[in-house]
């Protein structure tokens, strides 16, 4: 073998060693190390703590929390958690507004939606909207995959109105939410 071939083999061996070390180092990384989306999907009208008055509905999203359980019968499925949001909804118009769970959805970053659940840390938000000048307060909850970090609450109080709240999910996930 010539000196050229020996040097070439040494350089090739060094390059392969670097590649092998990098590959082995990457094997130690888990999916949990990957960056997680923290931008709520789509356009938003307000964030947690904000109020929006649109289409006869004046709505404030005051608090958001995450838990795996509300008690002995209200547990998230394995690999999932509950996201709960507290709303104050006022009817600022002269007509009726809707509060059915179908008109308030939780859109997840990367597509998909949370699954609406009856479980809540305290009083649930009524399914019927308040009368003109009236007000309803309460919680809505959705079951989402663990690791969810951002979402958007889409509320459609009337057929032609949509109000969107951007939500960053708290990093603290309570094992059990007690009130």
From 153, 150, 151, 148, select the one nearest 165 (Cα to Cα). Answer: 153
Residues with Cβ < 8 Å from 174, sequence gap 6 or more? 65, 66, 67, 68
Residue 15 CA to residue 146 CA, distance in Å, equals 40
Which residues does residue 135 pair with via DSSP β-bridges, in sequence order?
A: 90
Radius of gyration of the chain (CA): 24
| 109-168: pLDDT as tens digits | 888 999 999 889 999 999 999 999 999 999 999 999 999 999 999 999 999 999 999 999
Q: Is the pTM of this model over 0.85?
A: no
Checking if the pLDDT of 24 tops 80, the result is: no
Residue 136 CA to residue 131 CA, distance in Å, equals 9
| 25-43: pLDDT as tens digits | 444 444 444 445 578 999 9
Residue 16 CA to residue 90 CA, distance in Å, equals 66
């Amino acid at each position: 073998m010539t000196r050229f071939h020996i040097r070439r083999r040494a350089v090739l061996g060094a390059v392969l060693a670097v590649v092998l070390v990098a590959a082995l180092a990457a094997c130690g990384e888990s999916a949990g190390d990957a960056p997680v989306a923290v931008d709520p999907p789509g356009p938003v009208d307000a964030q947690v703590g904000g109020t929006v008055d649109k289409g006869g509905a004046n709505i404030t999203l005051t608090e958001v929390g995450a838990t795996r359980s509300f008690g002995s019968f209200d547990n998230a499925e394995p690999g999932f958690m509950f996201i709960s949001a507290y709303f104050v909804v006022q009817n600022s118009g002269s007509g009726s507004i809707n509060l059915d769970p179908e008109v308030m959805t939780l859109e997840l970053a990367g597509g998909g939606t949370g699954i609406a659940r009856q479980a809540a840390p305290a009083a649930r938000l009524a399914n019927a909207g308040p009368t003109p000048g009236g007000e309803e307060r309460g919680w809505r909850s959705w079951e989402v995959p663990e690791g969810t970090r951002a979402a958007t609450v889409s509320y459609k109080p009337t057929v032609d109105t949509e109000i969107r709240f951007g939500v960053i999910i708290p990093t603290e996930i309570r094992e059990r939410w007690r009130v």
